[in-house]
Amino acid sequence: MCYRTQAMRDASEIAVGSPMFSNTTQIEVERVGMRLVRLPLKEAFQTSFGQIQSRLIFLVTMEANGLVGWGEVVAAEEPRYSYETIGTASHVIRDYLAQTLMAKPVTGLDGLAARFTQFKGHNMAKAGLELAYMDLVARMQNESLSDLIGGTRKRLPIGVSLGIQPTLKALLERVDHYLAQGYQRIKLKIMPGWDLDVVAEVRRRYPNILLSVDANSAYTLKDKDHLKALDEFDLLMIEQPLDHDDLVDHAKLQAELKTSICLDESITTLRRAEHALALGSCRLINIKIGRVGGYSQALPIHNLCYEKGIPVWCGGMLESGIGRAHNLALASLPGFTLPGDISASSRYFHRDLINPPVEVAADGTAEAPRGCGLGFEVDLDYIETCTETSEQISRNN
Ligand code: OSB
Ligand code: MG
Q: Is 264 in the pocket of ligand 1 (CB under 6 A)?
A: yes
Helices (H), 222-266: 224-228, 248-256
Determine the distance separating the centroid of ligand 2 and the alpha carbon of 319, expressed in angstroms. 14
Distance CA 285, CA 266 (A): 10
Rounded average pLDDT over 371-381:
98
Determine the distance separating the centroid of ligand 1 and the alpha carbon of 47, expressed in angstroms. 8
pLDDT bin (cut points 50, 70, 90) of residue 23 is low
Rounded average pLDDT over 296-321:
98
Q: Write down the pLDDT at residue 19.
A: 40
Distance CA 320, CA 92 (A): 22
Distance CA 239, CA 83 (A): 19
CB 241 within 8 A of CB 229: no
DSSP per residue, 144-205: BHHHHHT---SEEEBEEEEPP-SSHHHHHHHHHHHHHTT-SEEEEE-BTTBSHHHHHHHHHH
Determine the distance separating the centroid of ligand 1 and the alpha carbon of 170, expressed in angstroms. 19
Residue 1 has pLDDT above 60, yes or no: no
Our mutation pick for probing the ligand 1 site, out of 341, 343, 349, 358, counting the most ligand atoms within 8 A of Cβ, is: 341
Q: Whose CA is nearest to atom 8 of ligand 1?
A: 317
pLDDT digits 0-9 by tens, 257-282: 999 999 999 999 999 999 999 999 99
Q: Which ligand 1 atom lies nearest to the CA of residue 286?
A: 2
Percent of the chain with pLDDT over 90: 93
Rounded average pLDDT over 159-178:
98
Q: Which ligand 1 atom lies nearest to the CA of residue 316?
A: 16
Beta carbons within 8 Å of 395's beta carbon, 6+ residues apart: 29, 30, 31, 99, 102, 103
CB 215 within 8 A of CB 49: no
Our mutation pick for probing the ligand 1 site, out of 78, 84, 161, counting the most ligand atoms within 8 A of Cβ, is: 161
Active site residues: 189, 288
Q: Shortest CA distance to 138 belongs to which of 23, 28, 60, 59?
A: 23
Q: Write down the pLDDT at residue 4.
A: 41
Q: Write down the pLDDT at residue 24.
A: 73
Determine the distance separating the centroid of ligand 1 and the alpha carbon of 362, expressed in angstroms. 22
Residue 10 has pLDDT above 60, yes or no: no
Q: Is 317 in the pocket of ligand 1 (CB under 6 A)?
A: yes
Rounded average pLDDT over 9-22:
43
pLDDT digits 0-9 by tens, 329-340: 999 999 999 999
Q: Is 216 in the pocket of ligand 1 (CB under 6 A)?
A: yes
Q: Write down the pLDDT at residue 18.
A: 41
Residue 11 has pLDDT above 50, yes or no: no
In terms of pLDDT, which residue wins out, 322 or 396?
A: 322
pLDDT bin (cut points 50, 70, 90) of residue 396 is confident
pLDDT digits 0-9 by tens, 80-96: 999 999 999 999 999 99
Q: Is 85 in the pocket of ligand 1 (CB under 6 A)?
A: no
Q: Is 316 in the pocket of ligand 1 (CB under 6 A)?
A: yes
Q: Write down the pLDDT at residue 395.
A: 85
Residue 114 has pLDDT above 80, yes or no: yes
Rounded average pLDDT over 377-384:
98
Q: Is 81 in the pocket of ligand 1 (CB under 6 A)?
A: yes
**Across 13-22, 52-61, 319-328, 341-350, least confident range:** 13-22
User: Exposed, middle or buried by CB within 10 Å (0-12, 13-18, 19+), for 29?
Assistant: buried
pLDDT bin (cut points 50, 70, 90) of residue 7 is very low
Determine the distance separating the centroid of ligand 2 and the alpha carbon of 384, expressed in angstroms. 31
Q: Write down the pLDDT at residue 184.
A: 98
**Ligand closest in space to the Cα of 341:** 1
Q: Whose CA is nearest to atom 12 of ligand 1?
A: 161
pLDDT bin (cut points 50, 70, 90) of residue 397 is low
Q: Write down the pLDDT at residue 6.
A: 39
Determine the distance separating the centroid of ligand 2 and the alpha carbon of 204, expressed in angstroms. 24
Q: Is 341 in the pocket of ligand 1 (CB under 6 A)?
A: yes
Residue 21 has pLDDT above 60, yes or no: no
Q: Whose CA is nearest to atom 1 of ligand 1?
A: 216
Rounded average pLDDT over 230-244:
98
